[in-house]
Structure 1
Amino acid sequence: MPHVVTQACCGDASCVYACPVNCIHPTPDEPDFGVAEMLYIDPSTCVDCGACVSACPVGAIVPGHRLPDDQARFADINAGHYTTGVADAVRFPVDPSRQLPMAPVTKPRRLAVDEPVSIGIVGSGPSAMYAADELLRHPQVSVTLYERLRRPFGLARYGVAPDHTATRSVMWLFDDIARDPRCEIKLGLTVGRDIMLDDLRERHDAVIWAGGAPTDRALAIPGITAPGVVSATAFVGWYNDHRDHDHLDVDLATSRAVVIGNGNVALDVARILTADPDTLAATAISRHALATLRRSEIEEVVVLGRRGPAQAAFTLPELVGLVESGANVVVDPAELSRPPDTPDATTRAKLDLLAEVAARPRRGGRTLRLGFRRSPVRIDADAEGRAAGVVVERNRVTDDGTIEPTGTTDTIAARLVLTSIGYRGIPVPGLPFDEARGVIPNDAGRVVADGTPVPGMYVTGWIKRGPSGFIGTNKTDSAQTVASLLADLEAGALADRHPRRRGLLDLLS
């Protein structure tokens, strides 16, 4: 049987380049690569060679005959990407004359410089580590990463849910990169406080800023600052032992929590809140969070989205993982009206799975309820000023996806409200910043100020492109930035090819 890409797919495309028969798509050169929810293996062309299995950094690819029961749906999901489906699951083959592009395989080349090259990278998350990996392919390059936290790897460690162990295993790849003798990671150093950006630019031939998008998009509604309202970013950091959030006051002495937003992070926090703590004990969850979850009185978590189920922000792999995890997911059948035209196979599969969940008999225990077409209007507070409920307005979603408020409101009683409507980058002192997009202006990774590239200064990751994509999306993003940096290096366009090689202790003093 052909191999199958499963839920843990990180999208870094290593499998694409390893495949000898071009059966894994989309490739980084296809237009839908940046928005694809995962990669897919074409069962009609896969030759079961297993090259992709070895290349995958998170163990997401499995021979079809070895798929565990909770991942079995992914055989159809992979096949569905290469067929056009209609009602009753009748499938018609894609036009065989359609030729999908083969991803180009490039071999490392020797740089047109002979002397040692020193690159500084601010951050140690996925975008930083993929950039370091690209740079270290060249023997004359050394890399120093500056990380403000006590442990490296950013969102791969602090942003992935602790029970998503396969996805978190990408850190093994980052460990291998960090073991290179020409790679050094400095922990516990905040650029702008402990060490200045100008010092790094003096110390290195070039600097890559890979600081990510560390804060939430603000939800501007009345009552949002009431005690009991917590950002999903802070809550995820709390259960992942992030030093900025490990002392968060999370009150779980309430029967219901509401999560505003329905992306993958929203499903993560809802799943953690409704999970049996015993199933989390063997994961990397923080011990203080686990102790608090053991005392939790929550019986229901309501996850709210502004749009309909066809436009839900969560991905199909995340929904499959949630449903197959044993979580008691509840969906109201009345909320599952299907758009008249749903040509996208992924959306069809998502709606089919939601309909299957809605038709299941209700069972007791903690529930995770998915609600659609509701926009938050305000947070109501009790006599003590704490959150007591969320007032939501019902929406109508037109055929083209436009939201139309109906004027009808409901109140969902809840003493814990988690906001999860996306991430946002923050300004970096000394660098330009696009307030509208929350990114550092750049041209293919070159930092640009007033339309002019800043010599020797580069950017990668979410602070470069905005908070989109998955862990592995950063691989192609960082490759683009490194390619720009190396081209500038060879062209002699860097500001100072003879940086001041002062020791770090000297800089810190």
Structure 2
Amino acid sequence: MPYVVTRSCCADASCVLACPVNCIHPAPGEPGFATAEMLYVDPRTCVDCGACTTACPVDALKPHDALGAGELPFLELNASYYKDNPHADRAPMYVVPRQRAVLADGLSVAVVGAGPAGLFAADELLRHPGVRVTVHDRLPTPYGLARAGVAPDHQDTKQVAELFRTIESQPGFRYRLGVEIGTDLTHADLLRAHHAVIYAVGAATDRRLGIEGEDLPGSVSATDFVAWYNGHPDRARDDHRLDTGRAVVVGNGNVSLDVARILTADPDALARTDISDRALAALRGSGIREVVVLGRRGPAQAAFTVPELLALAALEDVDVSVEGWPDDLAPDHDEKTRLLAELAARTPVGGRRRIVLRFLAAPVRIVGEGAVRALEYTPTTLHTDDDGTVRARPTGEIRTLETGLVLRSVGYRARPVPGLPFDEATATVPHEAGRVEPGVYVAGWIKRGPTGFIGTNKTCAQETVASLLDDFAAGRLTPPVAGGTAAPDALGLEAWRAIDRAERAAGAAQGRPRVKFTDAESLRRAATAVPAVTG
């Protein structure tokens, strides 16, 4: 009864460490670790002990005889990895991090950003005795995109919050939530109060299409749309036009598939999740019957991952079809194209909502007067550059899709961090192994761009923290000024726990994991049982 990884896991290596026979790969130190879409269990050497399931923070591992119908393809997916990537040498490859000696008066570090990147950085720091970490965030709640970016129908992925709760419970950890750096405190304030600052602020905005009509009402950033249905305080009061029969999503990454699933999902199923109440009410009245997902290039270049495609293929009450297949692409080119070819061969069922994956289609113009009425696009052909890059070239033919809602989902983009250099081309802070300069560091998307998965932030944080500790050991960090600078009306760990308890209690009363508080007033009110902290 081998165990199986059943989704894009967090890849933080917890299961690798727990496995007594080293049958889960790629492991730390191996090619592909932290960049692979998921980890894989070798069915030939798994001894069915179940240790991996206990260690997994997102409940991604299951015994093969407990798989649901939609999860059965993961059995072959796990096994096929080892056909292409044999692991004859099964000696454990994980190196236990060396603890660093820290001076008796300790090392104080500020982390800006309480998402996965910031919390993994805090965890890496707190592995070393004598370190104190203060994690700041503009919002009254932590966890970043793990709270406000993961789709509500992926509740298993949100279980990574259990790992974050373990991190924030360590001695030496504290929160200062509801504090905006640059407004409530400055970069200079943080440097005075700490030996070092790590910025893990992510990528808060989206990339634009750069086409006419992009600013019409009904043309929306998928980043904002995801934040809306997840109850992010910045977007919770938004309204979106759902009275149209068709929505168009431009871009074909995982976020595009998330948006397409939510727009076509059964509202009664969504009502059992932590989706925003406002979004749920809007989706109950939605007229959308079809979502078209446009990709400039072909199926082989699609940015979504195989696990997310499998989740889409497993939908029982939504038709999924594929259009725009290059003539010279074999349907068994790789696992992704094989799955897409299977979807393309399906026979639609009348009366269902529909998701169309349309490849070789580039947006040209959004049409409308006062609101979106249609999207014009051009078919494309594929051409390979000398360096192997496959590019889409427009044919010039113009086709029209009638729609009242266009969502652009062509990537996240970071904002400049006040006081730090910024590369406009890559939308990242220039650095060397996470070091901007001694005392100032970056981790996560502001460091490497919007790439990777939740677990990618772990190895990213390890590199940054190693640079910081090297600078501390070499005496390159300036000791903090006694007393530091107070953070006004900041919420600490106990305040966040009070919010968490209140949301869970409200959810339990409705048979849901939680009901999120989506505005600053209700969040602060939920935290009032615990006083704000001032230091």
Q: TM-score, normalization: structure 2? A: 0.86
CA drift at 1:421: 0.2
The corresponding residue for 1:479 is 462
The corresponding residue for 1:73 is 73
Amino acid at match of 1:407: G
CA drift at 1:206: 0.8
Measure, in 2, the Cα distance between the counterparts of 1:260 and 1:334: 15
Alignment of 1:131-170 (within 5 A): 131-170=121-160
SS in 2 for 1:225: coil
The answer (yes or no) to whether the contact 2:242–2:283 under 8 Å persists in 1 is yes
Change (3 A) 1:418 1:113: same
The corresponding residue for 2:249 is 259
After superposition, what is the alpha-carbon deviation per residue over 1:181-211, rounded to whole angstroms, capped at 9, x for unaligned?
A: 4211111110000111110111011110000
CA drift at 1:36: 1.5
Alignment of 1:21-100 (within 5 A): 21-84=21-84, 99=89
Measure, in 1, the Cα distance between the counterparts of 2:99 and 2:395: 60
After superposition, what is the alpha-carbon deviation per residue over 1:24-44, rounded to whole angstroms, capped at 9, x for unaligned?
A: 222232333343111111222
Change (3 A) 1:238 1:95: closer
- The answer on 1:493 being equivalent to 2:476 is yes
The corresponding residue for 1:421 is 410
Change (3 A) 1:334 1:227: closer
Amino acid at match of 1:502: G
Measure, in 1, the Cα distance between the counterparts of 2:465 and 2:158: 25
The answer (yes or no) to whether the contact 1:333–1:355 under 8 Å persists in 2 is no
Measure, in 2, the Cα distance between the counterparts of 1:271 and 1:252: 14
Change (3 A) 1:315 1:95: closer
Amino acid at match of 2:11: G
CA drift at 1:430: 0.4
After superposition, what is the alpha-carbon deviation per residue over 1:208-238, rounded to whole angstroms, capped at 9, x for unaligned?
A: 0000011101211111111110000000000
Q: Which moved more, 1:269-278 or 1:481-490?
A: 481-490
Amino acid at match of 2:446: I
- The answer on 1:396 being equivalent to 2:381 is yes
Measure, in 1, the Cα distance between the counterparts of 2:488 and 2:408: 43
Q: Which moved more, 1:285-294 or 1:135-144?
A: 135-144
Q: Which moved more, 1:359-368 or 1:152-161?
A: 359-368
Measure, in 2, the Cα distance between the counterparts of 1:427 and 1:226: 26
Alignment of 1:280-429 (within 5 A): 280-332=270-322, 335=325, 337=327, 339=329, 348-363=334-349, 364-382=351-369, 385-398=370-383, 401-429=390-418
The corresponding residue for 1:437 is 426
- The answer on 1:176 being equivalent to 2:158 is no
Deviation above 3 Å: which 4+ runs of structure 1? 98-102, 505-509
Q: Which moved more, 1:203-212 or 1:175-184?
A: 175-184
CA drift at 1:13: 2.1
After superposition, what is the alpha-carbon deviation per residue over 1:457-481, rounded to whole angstroms, capped at 9, x for unaligned?
A: 1110000000000111101111111
Amino acid at match of 1:470: F
CA drift at 1:487: 1.6
The answer (yes or no) to whether the contact 2:4–2:63 under 8 Å persists in 1 is yes
- The answer on 1:502 being equivalent to 2:484 is yes
Amino acid at match of 2:344: A
After superposition, what is the alpha-carbon deviation per residue over 1:219-266, rounded to whole angstroms, capped at 9, x for unaligned?
A: 111111111100000000000111111122201111111000010000
The corresponding residue for 1:211 is 201
SS in 2 for 1:83: helix
After superposition, what is the alpha-carbon deviation per residue over 1:247-300, rounded to whole angstroms, capped at 9, x for unaligned?
A: 222011111110000100000011101111110001010001101111111111
Measure, in 2, the Cα distance between the counterparts of 1:460 and 1:129: 10
The corresponding residue for 2:442 is 459
CA drift at 1:164: 0.4
SS in 1 for 2:395: strand
Alignment of 1:167-246 (within 5 A): 167-246=157-236
The answer (yes or no) to whether the contact 2:318–2:352 under 8 Å persists in 1 is yes
The answer (yes or no) to whether the contact 2:189–2:484 under 8 Å persists in 1 is no
How many residue pairs were aligned? 486
CA drift at 1:326: 2.3
The answer (yes or no) to whether the contact 1:205–1:456 under 8 Å persists in 2 is yes
Measure, in 2, the Cα distance between the counterparts of 1:300 and 1:135: 48
The answer (yes or no) to whether the contact 1:238–1:248 under 8 Å persists in 2 is yes
User: Structure 1, unaligned stretches of length 5 or more?
Assistant: 85-93, 448-453
Measure, in 2, the Cα distance between the counterparts of 1:213 and 1:353: 31
Change (3 A) 1:434 1:174: same
Measure, in 1, the Cα distance between the counterparts of 2:174 and 2:469: 20
Amino acid at match of 1:19: C
The answer (yes or no) to whether the contact 2:320–2:357 under 8 Å persists in 1 is yes
CA drift at 1:100: 7.0
The answer (yes or no) to whether the contact 2:114–2:136 under 8 Å persists in 1 is yes
CA drift at 1:112: 4.3
Measure, in 2, the Cα distance between the counterparts of 1:402 and 1:40: 31
Q: Which moved more, 1:209-218 or 1:399-408?
A: 399-408
After superposition, what is the alpha-carbon deviation per residue over 1:97-129, rounded to whole angstroms, capped at 9, x for unaligned?
A: x54784322145242422222111001000011
The answer (yes or no) to whether the contact 1:113–1:490 under 8 Å persists in 2 is no
Change (3 A) 1:63 1:95: closer
CA drift at 1:493: 1.5
Measure, in 1, the Cα distance between the counterparts of 2:272 and 2:363: 36
Identity between Structure 1 and Structure 2 (%): 51
The answer (yes or no) to whether the contact 2:247–2:404 under 8 Å persists in 1 is yes
Amino acid at match of 1:484: S
CA drift at 1:22: 2.7
SS in 1 for 2:334: helix
Q: Which moved more, 1:55-64 or 1:499-508?
A: 499-508
Instruction: Provide the aligned C-alpha RMSD in A.
Output: 2.1
Measure, in 1, the Cα distance between the counterparts of 2:324 and 2:363: 20
Q: TM-score, normalization: structure 1? A: 0.91
The answer (yes or no) to whether the contact 1:332–1:358 under 8 Å persists in 2 is yes
